[in-house]
Copies of this chain bind each other. A is one copy, B any other.
Amino acid sequence: MKKELFIRLLSERRFKELKEDLMTMKAVDIASLLSQLDDKEIAIVFRLVPKDKAAEVFSNMNSSMQSTLVEIFSEKELRELLDNLYMDDTVDMLEELPANLVTRILNVTPQNERNIINQLLNYPDDSAGSIMTTEYVDLSPEWTVAKAMNHIKETGIHKETIYTCYVTWQRKLIGIVSAKDLMTSDDNTLIKDIMETELISVSTHTDQEEVAGLFRKYDLLALPVIDTDNRLVGIVTVDDAMDVVIDEATEDITKMAAVAPSEKTYFETSSFAHAKRRIPWLLVLMFSSIITGSIITKYENAFAAIPLLVSFIPMLMDTGGNCGSQSSTLIIRGLALDEVHFGDFFRVVFKEFQISIIVGIVLATANGLRIFIEYHNSGLAIVIALSLIVTVTLSKIIGCTLPLFAKKIGLDPALMASPLITTLVDTCSIIVYFNIATTIFKI
* Partner-B contacts on A (CB < 8 A): 24-26, 28, 149, 152-153, 156-157, 162-163, 179-180, 183-184, 198, 200, 215-219, 221, 238-239, 241-243, 245-246, 249-250, 252-254, 256-259, 265-267, 271-272, 274-275, 278-279, 281-283, 285-287, 289-290, 292-294, 296-297, 300, 303-304, 307-308, 310-315, 317-319, 321-323, 325-326, 328-334, 337, 339-340, 344, 347-348, 351, 354-355, 358-359, 362-363, 366-367, 370, 418-419, 422-423, 426, 430
Contact = CB atoms under 8 A, between A and B. Distances in A.
A183 B354 CA distance: 59
Given A259-B329, A312-B293, A419-B325, A271 B153 contact: no
Contact of A322 (B198, B238, B258): B258
Nearest to A304: B307
A285 B319 contact: yes
A26 B286 contact: no
Contacts of A340: 266-267
7 contacts: A162-B179, A238-B242, A245-B249, A271-B351, A271-B358, A282-B363, A286-B318
B325 A283 contact: no
Contacts of A333: 250, 253-254
Contacts of A366: 283, 286
A286 B363 contact: yes
A354 B156 contact: no
Contacts of A198: 24-26
Task: Give the oligomeric copy count.
Answer: 2
A290 B271 contact: no
A293 B313 contact: yes
A317 B315 contact: no
B292 A418 contact: no
List 7 tightest A-B contacts by C-beta distance, closest first.
A257-B329, A293-B311, A249-B249, A275-B358, A271-B354, A219-B239, A292-B314
B24 A279 contact: no
B297 A217 contact: no
A278 B163 contact: no
Contact of A163 (B163, B313, B317): B163
Contacts of A180: 156-157, 162-163
Contacts of A183: 149, 152-153, 156, 162, 179, 183
A271 to B, nearest CB: 4
A425 to B, nearest CB: 10
Given A156-B184, A163-B179, A317-B317, A300 B307 contact: yes
Given A258-B326, A311-B296, A314-B426, A242 B245 contact: yes
Contacts of A24: 198
Nearest to A215: B242
Contacts of A216: 242-243, 246
A283 B315 CA distance: 11
Contacts of A281: 322
A266, A275, A328, A331: residue with the most chain B Cβ atoms closer than 10 Å:
A266
A317 B319 contact: no
A201 to B, nearest CB: 13
Given A266-B340, A430-B314, A285 B322 contact: yes
A257 B200 contact: no
B326 A257 contact: yes
A28, A200, A239, A332: residue with the most chain B Cβ atoms closer than 10 Å:
A239
B315 A296 contact: no
Nearest to A272: B358
Contacts of A265: 334, 337, 339
Nearest to A24: B198
A281, A307, A332: residue with the most chain B Cβ atoms closer than 10 Å:
A307
A422 B243 CA distance: 31
A360 to B, nearest CB: 10
A303 B252 CA distance: 40
